[in-house]
Structure 1
C-alpha cells in the first residue's frame, strides 16, 4: 500500500518579514494544527439554577492571566473567562504604574509563549521589523511588550471581559466559589465557577506597603509607586523618593524628566545592592525543583534572596544619575516625617530635608485580610506562619504572611472542613513564591507556572466528574471492527441448508 504525502510549505523568515503578522499568525495556526491543539472540549457542562457555571474564572488579564487562560484552552477546557478591572489594552502594570523604559528581562526569554515558537515576543517582533532589527534590539521597550500582549490575547482569541472588578469572592454552601463583579457604571453580576485563579500580579493577595510615617502626610502630597501619579504637576517641585529598588529609580527618573526642581532618593542601606542572586542560579532545576524542597530550604532560599535584595537595573540608575539635580542619600532611613504648612519636613540620620512631594517605592505586603474582596475567605486561609517556624536567625514577616498553598496553587484551610471552597481557589501571583517559587508572575518562568497550574486544574475537573466520565466510557459504542475482517478457524462449519 502506498500513500502520497502533500507537504505544507512553511513560511521562511524572509517571508514572515515581508508579510508581517499575517504570515506569523498562519504559522501559529499551522503549529497548533500539527500539535492537534486545542484539544477537543471534554469537561461536562454544569448549571446551577439555570445559570451556566464557569469551569474556570480568572481574576486578572495581565500576562499571568492570559497565559493560564491560553493553556487551559489548549487543554480542552473551554468554558473559561478572565475578568479585569482595566479597560482593554491597559491590563497589568505596563502602561500604568510600570515606568521603566525597557524590560529588565533579557529579550530572548520565551515568556508566556507556552513552548510555541510562533507565540514568542521574538517571533512577533521579527515579523514586523526583521531579523536585523531584532539583532540590534538592546532590550524590550515597555510599550512594545504591552503591544505584544495585546496581540497574544487577540491571536489566541482569549476570553477577557474588561471593566469587571472583583467586589467579593465568597464560598458557597455547595463548596463552589462565587464572584461578585462590578463595573465602573455600577452594574453588578454574580458568577459561579468551579475554579477561580487569582492572577493578580505583584500586588498578589495583599497591597502596597507604606511605612507608618506615611500616614503623617495628606494624600495629595504623597503616593505609592504603584499609584497613578501626575508627573507633570511635579514640575518645579522638590520631590523625595523613598526606596532603592527598580520602581524607586523609575519614579525618580519620571519626576526628573517632567521637570522636577530636584529629586532626593532616601535609601536605608549603606550601598545599593549590586548582585541579583536568584538570576545567578536561574535554571529549569530551580523552576521545577523549588516546589519539592522542604520548608527549611524554601525559606532559606527566599529569605537570602530577599535580604540580599534585587538591584535596580543599571539603566534605571543611570537614567537618574545623569541629572545634576538628583541626589542619592545612602544610610538614610526615615526618622521623622511631617508638615510645616504645605512643606514636607523629612529627617534621616544624615539631615533634614524640605520637600513638596514624596513617593514611597516601598514594595507590597502579603496581608490577604486587608483586601475587602477577600473578606469572606481570608479568615480561613492558612499562612506560612501557621505551619512553619523559621530559625530565629532568619525572621521574615513578608514570608511568614505568605499563603500556604498546596501543590495545585490552591489555598489551604486553617481548620479542616471550615471552608472547602478554598481548594478550588488558586493563587497564581507573587504570593505563591514561597510555596512554588517564582513561576506565577515573572517573565522567565511564567509558561512553566501556567502549564503546572492548568494541568492541576484539568486533573481536578476530571476527578470531580469521574462518575460522568465512567458512564461515558460504558456508553461509548463506536465499533472499530465490523465483524467482516476475519473468520474463526475453529468454528464449526455452517450446516448446509436444503
Structure 2
C-alpha cells in the first residue's frame, strides 16, 4: 500500500500542514535524521560534552545543523538573539527584498519540500509565485523560522558565547552566558556560523573614531530610524546597505539624505553573480592560491552594485542626492553639526551613517581572546602579485579542507583546528558556500560529510570494537541440510 502525498494539480495553495506532511514523508524515506552512531561523551569536570556546537542560529547555522543530522550527528546551536530573531533579517537588515533570485534553493539541502518556493506556494499558490519578483526580507525570516521548526534544529536562544578555549586533548571549551546564569560546555568540534561580522565587526573609517557616537551609526547598528525625522543625513558608501539605510532614513522623514560616493559612477554589473557555476562552487577550494586570489580580488575591485530596486527606492525621493567623486577627507564636529569635507565641497549633517562593510579582527571580539593571536590569515603566508593587494583578502582566515582554522605557528595553539569557520570570511579559502544564499547547501554538506569522516577516523578503535562485538545473525543454521 502506497501513501498518497498531498498535492495540488491546479497550483492552488495546499497549506503548510500538507507541505509538512510531504516533507516528513520525504525525510522518512531518506532516513533523515540518520541513526545515531557517535560514541557517547561523558561529562568532564561537570561540563557537558557535545559532538558539535554551532555558534549562530541564522541560515548558515540552521543549514549546518540539518546537514549534520543527515549524517547522524547531533549539533547544539547557540544564538544570542531572542527566539525567532536570529540573524539580521528582522533586526538590522533594511532592504525591502532579497537580491538573490527567488528560484535559488538556499538551505534546502536538496529537499524540494524544504525550499522557499514550496513554503510560499503551499500558502499562496503557484499564481502568486509566478507574480513574485523578489523575496520580501521579512518573509525570508518567516521561512527560516519554519525551517528551524520542521527540521527540529536544536537552537538555544539568549545564549552568548563569552570565551572559546581550544584544549590540547581535542576538545574546545565554551564559556556561556545564559538566562540561567554562566555555564561551560565542551565540544569536539565548534562551528562558527556567525555571519558577516562574526570574526570582527564593522569596518569603521578612522575619520569617525573621535566623533560623538550619538551623531553617527554604522549601517549594521540596531537603531530607530524614526529619530532621523527632520534631520540632514549623510550616508557614506553606495553599496546595498548604503542604499537601504538611505531609503529607510528618507521613509522615516529625514529632511534630506546625501549619499557620499567615492567613485565617479555606480558599478553596473554584479560580477559575483556571473561566477556562480557548479564547477566553481565545488572546485574553488582546489584552485591554486594565485587563482583563488585573482578571482576574489577581481570581484572586489569590480565592486558589487546596489540592487536595482534599492537604488530606485532612494532616487524616488526629491530630497535624496547622489554625490559622486566625494571620498571623505575629514569630519569635524561643529556643535550639533558634522562638517564633512570632500574634494568637491563641504557638507553639513545632523547625522552620519557609514556603510563601509565589515572586517576580520579577532582581537575586536573578547570571546576569541584565547585564539586571536594564533589564527593564520592569508597575509601570513601568501604574497599577491603587484597591483593585487587587497586588505579584505589578506585578513581572511587561511582555512583547511573542513573550514578549520589553522595555526600561525604550528604547535602554539593545540586544538585550534577543532574550530570551523562557516561564515562569509571563509570565501577566499572555500568560495561562496558559507555566507550567502546561493550555495549554502553545498557548503553545509561539505562541512557535515567532512566532520563525519573526521569523527570516524578519531573513533576508529571504538567502531572497530563495535564491529567485533556485532553478533546479529543473518543465518540461523537451520536453513539447509548438509549433503
CA contact (8 A) 1:216 1:337 kept: no
Which residue, 373, 384, 394 being the options, matches 2:378? 384
Report the secondary structure of 1:189's partner residue: strand
Question: Partners in 2 of 1:465 and 1:188 — Cα distance?
Answer: 31
* Alignment match, 1:118: 113
CA contact (8 A) 1:404 1:435 kept: yes
- For the pair 1:374 / 2:386, whether they are aligned, the reply is no
CA contact (8 A) 2:377 2:396 kept: yes
Which residue, 305, 311, 316 being the options, matches 1:311? 305
- For the pair 1:241 / 2:235, whether they are aligned, the reply is yes
* Alignment match, 2:58: 62
* Alignment match, 1:150: 145
CA contact (8 A) 1:194 1:424 kept: yes
Question: Superposed, which structure 2 residues align to 1:117-266 within 5 Å?
Answer: 117-183=112-178, 187-266=181-260
CA drift of 1:186 comes to 7.7
Report the secondary structure of 1:203's partner residue: coil
Deviates more, 1:319-328 or 1:69-78: 69-78
Deviations 1:409-442 (A, max 9, x none): 0000112222221111000001100100010010
* Alignment match, 2:356: 362
Report the secondary structure of 1:482's partner residue: coil
Question: Superposed, which structure 2 residues align to 1:75-94 within 5 Å?
Answer: 75-78=71-74, 80-94=75-89
Question: Partners in 1 of 2:339 and 2:64 — Cα distance?
Answer: 47
Structure 1, unaligned stretches of length 5 or more? 1-5, 490-498
Which residue, 405, 408, 413 being the options, matches 1:414? 408
CA drift of 1:14 comes to 4.9
Deviations 1:137-171 (A, max 9, x none): 11100000000000000111110011011111012
Deviates more, 1:372-381 or 1:115-124: 372-381
Cα distance, 1:245–1:460 mapped onto 2, change above 3 Å: same
Question: Partners in 2 of 1:466 and 1:25 — Cα distance?
Answer: 38
Question: Partners in 1 of 2:332 and 2:45 — Cα distance?
Answer: 56
Deviations 1:59-78 (A, max 9, x none): 00000000001111121112
CA contact (8 A) 2:53 2:187 kept: yes
CA contact (8 A) 2:89 2:137 kept: yes
- For the pair 1:476 / 2:470, whether they are aligned, the reply is yes
Question: Partners in 1 of 2:172 and 2:59 — Cα distance?
Answer: 23
- For the pair 1:49 / 2:45, whether they are aligned, the reply is yes
TM-score normalised according to structure 2 size: 0.98
CA drift of 1:173 comes to 3.9
CA drift of 1:51 comes to 4.0
Question: Partners in 1 of 2:282 and 2:167 — Cα distance?
Answer: 34
Question: Partners in 2 of 1:45 and 1:51 — Cα distance?
Answer: 14
Deviates more, 1:385-394 or 1:116-125: 385-394
Report the secondary structure of 2:300's partner residue: helix
CA contact (8 A) 1:195 1:425 kept: yes
* Alignment match, 1:396: 390
Deviations 1:191-218 (A, max 9, x none): 1001000000111312100110011311
- For the pair 1:27 / 2:16, whether they are aligned, the reply is no
* Alignment match, 1:3: none
Which residue, 39, 42, 56 being the options, matches 2:34? 39
- For the pair 1:12 / 2:10, whether they are aligned, the reply is no
Question: Partners in 1 of 2:114 and 2:224 — Cα distance?
Answer: 35
Question: Partners in 2 of 1:380 and 1:465 — Cα distance?
Answer: 27
CA contact (8 A) 2:270 2:304 kept: yes
CA contact (8 A) 2:434 2:443 kept: yes
Question: Partners in 2 of 1:313 and 1:331 — Cα distance?
Answer: 20
Larger radius of gyration, structure 1 or 2? 1
* Alignment match, 1:73: 69
Cα distance, 1:247–1:422 mapped onto 2, change above 3 Å: same
* Alignment match, 2:440: 446
Report the secondary structure of 1:379's partner residue: coil
CA contact (8 A) 2:80 2:159 kept: yes
Question: Partners in 2 of 1:420 and 1:449 — Cα distance?
Answer: 26
CA drift of 1:52 comes to 3.3
CA contact (8 A) 2:7 2:14 kept: no
RMSD of Structure 2 on Structure 1 (CA)? 1.3
CA contact (8 A) 1:15 1:23 kept: no
CA contact (8 A) 1:16 1:24 kept: no
TM-score normalised according to structure 1 size: 0.95
CA contact (8 A) 1:198 1:428 kept: yes
Report the secondary structure of 2:415's partner residue: helix
